[in-house]
Amino acid sequence: MSTRKIYKREDIVGKQVINQDGNIVGIVKDTGYDESGRMAIIVSTKDNKEQYYSITDIRGIGDVIVLREIQPQIPPNSIICPNCGYPNPAGSQYCIKCGTRLSYY
């Protein structure tokens, strides 16, 4: 018999979600599955938006849910905006996120 804790949906919904810096991200609104078929949580943020986190993004579950440090995936040949750090597609002249003109070296 396994001694691992199994969490049901009702154990997860309503828990606070904390990021790796200790900041409150929001409250779990519901659970679901990501496009790969892995369990995911749907989080209602402080500004009433929804964020989605796959089970692989979760470090631990207890009184709160703690997220792992999420490393952004930067596509190869991306042009990183010097203003906001957003990775733009190769050949972009302006940042998609903030509109800053991108310079080529």
pLDDT digits (tens, 9 = 90+) for 40-78: 999 999 888 999 999 999 999 999 999 998 666 777 888
Buried b (16+ CB within 10 A) or exposed e, 54-87: beebbeebeeebbbeeeeeeeeeeebebeeeebb
The pLDDT, as a whole number, for residue 3 is 74
pLDDT of 105 over the 50 cut: no
The pLDDT, as a whole number, for residue 21 is 85
Q: What is the mean pLDDT of residues 29-40?
A: 91
Q: With pLDDT > 70 as the criterion, what percentage of the chain qualifies? A: 92
Mean pLDDT of the chain: 88
Beta-carbon contacts of 80 under 8 Å, excluding residues fewer than 6 positions away, are: 74, 86, 87, 88
Selected residue with higher pLDDT from 73 and 81: 81
pLDDT of 104 over the 70 cut: no
pLDDT of 1 over the 70 cut: no
The pLDDT, as a whole number, for residue 4 is 79
